[in-house]
């Protein structure tokens, strides 16, 4: 997995690419999310457009980021959720936990 980040106003955007399956990749995403939190950034969007799939470790990282942000008055939202990840979110019922948007712009706009 490769990971890049950008900012749109006060919204932090993370763009992982590839597969999120645990091991070193998962640590990278986890550390980046928690770096935002440590810096007081409370609005985060993860753009999943280029993520082929993730497993339960990836879902655990998303939940960790979401709960930590919410506990600090922030929010984590998902954009461009691919079909495979949508399916995983549905079977694990995490679709009821995350706010998902069809585009990055919509996700960013939802913070305003």
Partner 1 sequence: MKTAVKMRPSFKDSSGRAKSVRTKRKNTSREVGYCGQIIIPSSLDYLPKVDEYVERKLRKLGVDKDKLADIAISVTEAATNAVMHGNKNDLKKKVAINLKVDSSCVEITVEDEGNGFDPEAVQNPTEEKNILKQVGRGIFILKSLMDKVDFIIQPQKGTIVKMTKFLS
Question: What residue ranges bind partner 1 (CB under 8 A)?
Answer: 19, 21-26, 52-57, 59-61, 63-64, 67, 84, 88, 91-94, 96-97
Nearer to partner 1, 13 or 26 (CB): 26
**Of 70, 35, 30, which Cα lies nearest the Cα of 54?**
30
CA angle at residue 103 from 80 to 34, to 5 degrees?
65
Nearer to partner 1, 93 or 112 (CB): 93
Distance in angstroms (rounded) separating the CA atoms of residues 41 and 65 = 12
Q: Shortest Cβ distance from residue 62 to partner 1 (Å)?
A: 9
Distance in angstroms (rounded) separating the CA atoms of residues 61 and 19 = 13
Q: Shortest Cβ distance from residue 83 to partner 1 (Å)?
A: 8
Q: Shortest Cβ distance from residue 42 to partner 1 (Å)?
A: 18
Q: Could you identify the residue written with the tokens 């980046």?
A: 32
């Amino acid at each position: 997995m490769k990971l890049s980040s950008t900012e749109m106003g006060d919204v932090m955007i993370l763009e992982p690419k590839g597969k999120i399956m645990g091991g070193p990749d998962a640590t990278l995403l986890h550390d980046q999310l928690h770096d935002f939190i440590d810096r007081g950034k409370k609005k985060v969007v993860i753009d999943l457009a280029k993520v082929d799939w993730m497993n339960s470790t990836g879902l655990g990282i998303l939940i960790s980021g979401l709960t930590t942000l919410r506990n600090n008055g922030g929010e984590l939202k998902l954009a461009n959720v691919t079909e495979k990840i949508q399916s995983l979110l549905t079977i694990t019922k995490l679709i009821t936990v995350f706010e998902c948007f069809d585009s990055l712009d919509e996700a960013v706009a939802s913070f305003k």
